[in-house]
Amino acid sequence: MMKRMMSTVLAIILVITSLMGTTMIAQAANYSAFPVCQEEKEDALQTAPELKLNQSYRVSFKNGVYTNPERTELYNVYEPNKVLKFIPTSNGYYEASIYIAERNQHMTVQFAYSDAESIKDNKYYSVSNGSYEYNIHTSKEASIASSTYNVYRNTARGAAYLQKGKTYYIVAYAAYDDYDVEKTMKTEVQGYAYHTVPATIKVYKHSHDYEVKTYKYSDYTSAYYNCRVCSHSTSSYFYKPKTLTLSAASYTYDGKVKKPSVTVKDSNGKKISSAYYNVTYSGGCKNVGKYTVKVKFKKEYARFGSMSKTFTINPKGTNVSKVTAAKKGFKVTWKKQTTQTKGYEVQYSTSSNFKKGNKTVTVGKNMTTSKSVSKLSAKKKYYVRVRTYKNVKINGQNVKLYSGWSKAKSVTTKK
């Protein structure tokens, strides 16, 4: 008796060798994935129905077995393959699937994409995803083809990159693995027994179904992606995030919510796509205060945890309305600023750029809009400016947040 699992292997290998057998009795040489003689091949190509994208095509395979007179051996018998034509309207990956309704029939169905020349020469590239795998590279043209083998699942898939406008042929055939042949086919003591297997073939756009393998190192993760269907592969490296930058570190209060955008760069200085992290902002982000932006990494970056950065919303400033001279002093008046402020700071200096000798006076109520300063030198020029402040609690501690300084106005004190 033939070694059953070997029968399928032989079927594939012999497809790419020249096939001589002409009898319907399936000697090993008759495990053809294509009509065995040149005329039949040409004919099958000529008459191949064109399958459109996403359109289902029903086929049925007639398969059988033959037993020799002594019934000491059992041979598989096939009818010629189903050949379909497909012409892509754009370049890309396409997938062909074959669906067999009879799941437990131990059927093997294979199909291949190939260009016409390669099919005529019985050359095509075969990829199996069954219990064993083999790749057969023949010609350059044929390397675009692919086939899939499947025994126990209902659907077999194969995919390849196809070119727009080119004609491709999908070759499908069923091989009967005769584990249960006597039971299912009721083979006579001698002779043929056939079984018809309906199937549906469909071609659609292929999306890679990647098997991902990742390798983690202290400062990066490498990932390798291999498509389970078409064997397309690619790889990526994910370097540890290093810097988090906000589009603004501080804002001036204007009653609107502030949410600075974030930029994350890895240890190589390369920007990390926002698809790899979620950004959250601490509550509010409207009133004067200090806020935290947290970036939590996900997907391949998840192992690197999170990063955070703070930004502030400072109170709105004020302007000095006037400074009037007094005896060894002055009186400064400013515009009231009561929204999101606690009070004011008045600063004066003999230096126009406030580089040295600055004195600061705090005005603790935001309703107050003037301050008199005395006990200064007489007949001396002073520069005066004002800013607002607000006390906020940050991590349980009182912190003052300030507006920017107003423009300075000068005054010369009286005698």
Choose between 127 and 159: whose C-beta lies nearer to Zn ion: 159
Choose between 192 and 225: whose C-beta lies nearer to Zn ion: 225
CB of 9 to Zn ion, least distance (A): 24
Choose between 142 and 230: whose C-beta lies nearer to Zn ion: 230
Q: Examine residue 157 and tell whether it contacts Zn ion (CB under 5 A).
A: no
CB of 211 to Zn ion, least distance (A): 10
Q: Examine residue 230 and tell whether it contacts Zn ion (CB under 5 A).
A: yes
Among 285, 280, 318, 326, residue whose Cα is nearest residue 402: 318
- Which range of residues in 108-116, 131-139, 228-236, 241-249 is near Zn ion by CB under 5 A? 228-236
Q: How far apart are CA 31 and CA 28, in angstroms?
A: 6
CB of 308 to Zn ion, least distance (A): 39
Confirm if 370 and 332 have CB atoms less than 8 A apart: yes
CB of 212 to Zn ion, least distance (A): 13
- Which range of residues in 223-231, 236-244, 250-258, 366-374 is near Zn ion by CB under 5 A? 223-231
CB of 146 to Zn ion, least distance (A): 9
Choose between 211 and 219: whose C-beta lies nearer to Zn ion: 211
CB of 96 to Zn ion, least distance (A): 12
Q: Using CB under 5 A, which of 120, 232, 259, 331 touches Zn ion? A: 232
Which residue in the shown chain puts its C-beta closest to Zn ion?
A: 227
On the 0-12 / 13-18 / 19+ scale of CB atoms within 10 A, 381 is exposed
CB of 166 to Zn ion, least distance (A): 19
* Phi and psi at residue 294, to the nearest 5°: -115, 130
CB of 147 to Zn ion, least distance (A): 14
Choose between 82 and 208: whose C-beta lies nearer to Zn ion: 208
Number of residues interacting with Zn ion: please give it, by CB under 5 A.
6
Q: How far apart are CA 43 and CA 116, in angstroms?
A: 12
Choose between 185 and 227: whose C-beta lies nearer to Zn ion: 227
- Which range of residues in 125-133, 155-163, 285-293, 388-396 is near Zn ion by CB under 5 A? 155-163
In the sheet with 320-326, reading across from the earlier edge strand, the strands are: 320-326, 329-334, 370-373
Choose between 227 and 376: whose C-beta lies nearer to Zn ion: 227
Q: Examine residue 195 and tell whether it contacts Zn ion (CB under 5 A).
A: no
Q: Using CB under 5 A, which of 123, 208, 342, 390 touches Zn ion? A: 208
Binding to Zn ion in span 253-312, by CB under 5 A: none
CB of 228 to Zn ion, least distance (A): 7
Q: How far apart are CA 99 and CA 95, in angstroms?
A: 13
CB of 97 to Zn ion, least distance (A): 13
Binding to Zn ion in span 158-187, by CB under 5 A: 159
Please give the single-letter amino acid code of residue 96: A
* Phi and psi at residue 196, to the nearest 5°: -100, 130
Q: Examine residue 227 and tell whether it contacts Zn ion (CB under 5 A).
A: yes
- Which range of residues in 207-215, 218-226, 289-297, 357-365 is near Zn ion by CB under 5 A? 207-215
Among 358, 246, 264, 374, residue whose Cα is nearest residue 313: 246
- Which range of residues in 14-22, 154-162, 233-241, 387-395 is near Zn ion by CB under 5 A? 154-162
Choose between 154 and 226: whose C-beta lies nearer to Zn ion: 226
Confirm if 407 and 371 have CB atoms less than 8 A apart: no
Among 359, 340, 348, 333, residue whose Cα is nearest residue 381: 348
Choose between 208 and 385: whose C-beta lies nearer to Zn ion: 208
Provide the binding-site residues for Zn ion, judged by CB under 5 A: 159, 208, 227, 229-230, 232
